[in-house]
């Protein structure tokens, strides 16, 4: 018999060597079932604080935390070290009597007060809300608006959405998640119409795709069947069709409201695209961030800001591997980088715009640091040889040119707004009192106004804002709205003085008189926002959600100014300082109509709408009493 045969027949030599750890101790089971699972004699997964079965049936899950007899020596040693660390951390904490009063609850990563060096001035210090415009939800806590909140358990007022015969709806109520793309247009002729809508009304504001090659790809997918494969290209084609279904010329978008065929088709396309997004997370080419960005735009069109932000973040993540970002200078050096620059900038600015509204703990909402901005502007595409790129029609070429002019103008205005905001915050941090801060702001205001005027003068004729707002196309409409946002920022510190007496601790006539001119300009700018944006109140687009947000802020500002001025006039020896713009109530009423119109798709503005309705009713009642006296 050979040695090999002997080894095969010897059970001792045939057995595997014991693990190294068992030489020192006998390992035992480290967990026991909870009392409920032990009584049932079933396996327990020992999840904390409740196992799966107890969580499912609603039972109290009792798991012994004291019995350590079943733990092996290594586990006991780990627990011992953890106990030591816990004791060390507890000993380093101050005693309860050494701790100060609990800090006031505030938004994460957004300090509401900056404490400058103590100069001996016991005057009012400066809050960020006194420097930069707050969110419309934050404005509801102002002292001049508090008494407009509902006081009962339920609000039976006629301004409730239920009284208007409306219901809260979601896309899922109108889309039954059809298998594949059943019932959704896939014919090349119909898909071409969706492509036209997309490039005319969506892509013009964010030119991230090459139009000729994209049209060829989407039409090719339509010939094969849009739902035929699961490739990233198919995902992109479906997203383009989804946005093309919702896109309309600038004006009311009644044909894309919930319950319409276009709305249902758009969500069916989007649901099919979502099913193809899995491969995008591991894709390394440009199509992945392009798809995520367009998905974010679709969500913005449907009041889904949080989901849109997630898509924009993922699009920005997909851009991080682009070669031009790894250059030592941080600047692109090849014209071939144009599409990469475009998607990077679109994802970057969209994520920053939405971040301030969704407010997530690990993502600071401050957008007032110009160092955060990329150091370059995207480069418009260079003309290509006809052999590579089919010539576009003259109208298409003009649209592409306007698209890039708009794109660069919007980016430059965002950089200007961030730079001005950063300077305002710096001024705030260097002044101990609100009055001295306002004096410094008044000195800087002419420079800010000049920069805004210079930006407006630099616009090409196709985007000029000199013509009346009623003649605006969608690009000029958006730029005019962004410019109004800039003016709102630079006038806000002065206007805020008149809106909430809590900020000044009571009437301060000297401060009011000193800065009333700047505050009046700020008030007129809020009225201008409502007049300019009225044309887009019922238009579904990328800014569908931000528009009600900003217009609600302006409506609340006008209402707060009216009520605060009434309070000032009621004080002995005080006269009205601010003057409400003509027809301000009509424009607030139009904002209420705006919130009612989009009410079936979002309930985010319900409380604001009710506050505005009550404020208008009160103002009309006061006027009626004055007329009777």
The domain 28-71 belongs to what CATH superfamily? Zn(2)-C6 fungal-type DNA-binding domain (4.10.240.10)
Q: How confident is the model at residue 288 (pLDDT cuts 50, 70, 90)?
A: very high
Q: Which residue has the tokens 């309930």?
A: 603
Which pLDDT score is estimated for 247? 94
Whole-Å CA distances, 227 to 117, 174, 178, 185: 64, 20, 12, 11
**Cα–Cα–Cα angle for 376, 377, 383, rounded to 5 degrees:** 125
Sign of the dihedral defined by the CA atoms of residues 534, 469, 473, 313, in that order: negative
Q: What is the 3-state secondary structure (H, E, C) of 532-556?
A: HHHHHCCCCCCCCCHHHHHHHHHHH
Q: Domain locations in the chain?
A: 28-71, 128-156+423-446+480-628, 171-397
Q: How confident is the model at residue 26 (pLDDT cuts 50, 70, 90)?
A: low
Q: What is the mean pLDDT of residues 470-474?
A: 89
Which of 539, 138, 511 is closest to 359 using CA atoms? 138
List, for residues 520-577, the tens digit of each pLDDT value: 999 999 999 999 999 999 999 988 889 999 999 999 999 999 988 776 655 554 556 7
List, for residues 339-383, the tens digit of each pLDDT value: 888 899 899 889 988 887 887 777 766 545 544 566 556 666 655
Q: What is the 3-state secondary structure (H, E, C) of 3-32?
A: HHHHHHHCHHHHCCCCCHHHHCCCCCCCCC
Compare 530 and 93 and report the one with higher pLDDT: 530
Q: How confident is the model at residue 45 (pLDDT cuts 50, 70, 90)?
A: confident
Percent of the chain whose predicted confidence (pLDDT) is above 70: 68
Q: What is the mean pLDDT of residues 593-620?
A: 91
Q: How confident is the model at residue 213 (pLDDT cuts 50, 70, 90)?
A: very high
Three-state DSSP state, 575: coil
Lowest mean pLDDT of 107-111, 228-232, 402-406, 577-581, name the range. Answer: 107-111
Give the CA radius of gyration of the chain: 31
Looking at the predicted structure, is the pLDDT value of residue 5 above 90?
Answer: no
Dist. CA 320–CA 314, nearest whole Å: 10
Looking at the predicted structure, is the pLDDT value of residue 330 above 90?
Answer: no
Looking at the predicted structure, is the pLDDT value of residue 67 above 90?
Answer: no
Q: What is the mean pLDDT of residues 93-111?
A: 39
Residue 274, judged by CB atoms within 10 A of its CB (0-12, 13-18, 19+), counts as middle
pTM (2 d.p.): 0.72
Q: Which residue has the tokens 């009063």?
A: 101
* C-beta separation of 300 from 539 below 8 A: no
- How close are the terminal C-alpha atoms of the chain, in Å? 126
Q: How confident is the model at residue 177 (pLDDT cuts 50, 70, 90)?
A: very low
Average pLDDT, the chain: 77
Q: How confident is the model at residue 19 (pLDDT cuts 50, 70, 90)?
A: low
Which pLDDT score is estimated for 72? 66
Compare 128 and 594 and report the one with higher pLDDT: 594
Structure tokens at 272: 């099919």
Q: What is the mean pLDDT of residues 148-160?
A: 50
Q: What is the mean pLDDT of residues 421-441?
A: 89
Q: How confident is the model at residue 64 (pLDDT cuts 50, 70, 90)?
A: low
Ranges of H-type helices in 430-473 = 434-457
């Amino acid at each position: 018999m050979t040695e090999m045969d002997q080894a095969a027949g010897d059970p001792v030599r045939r057995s595997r060597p014991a693990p190294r750890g068992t030489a020192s101790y006998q390992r035992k089971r480290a967990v026991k079932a909870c009392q409920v699972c032990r009584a049932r004699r079933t396996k327990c997964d020992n999840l904390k604080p409740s196992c799966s079965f107890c969580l499912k049936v609603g039972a109290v899950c009792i798991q012994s935390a004291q019995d350590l007899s079943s733990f092996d020596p290594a586990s006991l040693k780990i627990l011992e070290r953890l106990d030591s660390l816990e004791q060390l951390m507890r000993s380093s904490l101050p005693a309860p009597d050494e701790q100060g009063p609990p800090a006031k609850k505030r938004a994460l990563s957004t300090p509401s007060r900056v404490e400058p060096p103590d100069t001996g001035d016991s005057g009012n210090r400066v809050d960020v809300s006194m420097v930069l415009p707050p969110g419309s939800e934050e404005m509801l806590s102002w002292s001049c608006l508090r008494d407009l909140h509902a006081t009962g358990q339920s609000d039976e007022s006629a301004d409730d959405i239920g009284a208007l015969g409306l219901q809260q709806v979601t896309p899922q109520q109108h889309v039954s998640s059809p298998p594949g793309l059943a019932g959704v247009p896939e014919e090349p002729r119909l898909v071409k119409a969706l492509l036209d809508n997309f490039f005319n009304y969506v892509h013009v504001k964010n030119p991230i795709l090459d139009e000729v090659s994209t049209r060829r790809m989407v039409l090719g997918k339509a010939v094969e069947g849009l739902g035929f494969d699961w490739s990233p290209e198919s995902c992109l084609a479906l997203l383009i069709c989804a946005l093309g279904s919702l896109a309309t010329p600038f004006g009311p978008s009644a044909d894309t409201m919930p319950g319409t065929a276009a709305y249902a088709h758009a969500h069916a396309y989007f649901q099919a695209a979502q099913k193809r997004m899995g491969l995008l997370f591991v894709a390394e080419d440009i199509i992945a961030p392009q798809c995520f960005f367009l998905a974010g735009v679709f969500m913005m069109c449907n009041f889904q800001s949080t989901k849109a932000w997630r898509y924009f973040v993922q699009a920005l993540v997909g851009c991080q591997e682009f070669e031009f970002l790894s250059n030592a200078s941080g600047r692109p050096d090849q014209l071939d980088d144009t599409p990469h620059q475009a998607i990077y900038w679109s994802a970057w600015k969209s994520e920053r715009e939405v971040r301030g509204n969704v407010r997530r703990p690990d993502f600071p909402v401050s957008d007032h640091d110009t160092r955060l901005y990329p150091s370059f502007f995207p480069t418009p595409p260079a003309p290509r040889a006809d052999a590579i790129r089919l010539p576009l029609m003259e109208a298409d070429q003009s649209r592409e040119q306007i698209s890039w002019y708009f794109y660069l103008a919007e980016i430059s205005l965002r950089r200007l707004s961030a730079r001005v905001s950063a300077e305002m915050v710096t001024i705030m941090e260097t002044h101990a009192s609100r009055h001295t801060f306002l004096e410094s702001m008044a000195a800087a205001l002419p420079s800010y106004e000049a920069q805004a005027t210079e930006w407006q003068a630099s616009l090409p004729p196709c985007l000029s804002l000199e013509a009346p707002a009623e003649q605006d196309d969608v690009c000029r409409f958006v730029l005019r709205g962004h410019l109004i946002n800039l003016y709102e920022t630079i006038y806000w510190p002065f206007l805020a003085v008149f809106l909430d007496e809590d900020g000044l601790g009571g009437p301060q006539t000297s401060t009011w008189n000193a800065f009333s001119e700047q505050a009046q300009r700020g008030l007129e700018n809020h009225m201008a926002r409502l007049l300019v944006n009225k044309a887009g109140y019922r238009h579904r687009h990328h800014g569908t959600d931000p528009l009600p947000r900003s217009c609600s802020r302006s409506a609340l500002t006008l209402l707060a100014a009216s009520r605060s001025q009434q309070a000032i006039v009621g004080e002995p020896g005080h006269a009205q300082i601010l003057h409400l713009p003509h027809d301000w109530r009509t424009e607030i009423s139009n904002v209420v109509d705006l919130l009612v119109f989009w009410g079936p798709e979002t309930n985010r503005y319900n409380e604001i709408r009710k506050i505005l309705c009550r404020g208008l009713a009160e103002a009309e009642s006061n006027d009626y009493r004055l007329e009777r006296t």
